[in-house]
Amino acid sequence: MTQRHPPDHAVNALTTGELVDALQHAVGLVRSHFAAATAAAGVTPVQAKVLRQLTRPTTVKDLATQLGADISNTSSTIDRLETLGLVEKQTGSIDRRVRLITLTDHGRRVRTTLDDVAFNSVPALENLSTSERYDLYRLLRKVGGETHPA
Q: pLDDT per position in the chain (150 positions), as tens? A: 455 656 555 556 789 999 999 999 999 999 999 999 999 999 999 999 999 999 999 999 999 999 999 999 999 999 999 999 999 998 877 777 788 999 999 999 999 999 999 988 899 999 999 999 999 999 999 988 876 655
Q: How far apart are CA 22 and CA 143, in angstroms?
A: 14
Find, among 40, 59, 3, 54, the residue nearest to 117 by Cα: 40
Q: How far apart are CA 47 and CA 52, in angstroms?
A: 9
Q: Are the CB atoms for 41 and 58 separated by under 8 Å?
A: no
Q: Are the CB atoms for 34 and 118 separated by under 8 Å?
A: yes
The residues with which 91 forms a beta bridge, in sequence order, are 99
Long-range contacts of 147-150 (CB under 8 A, 24+ apart): none
Q: What pLDDT score does 50 carry? A: 96
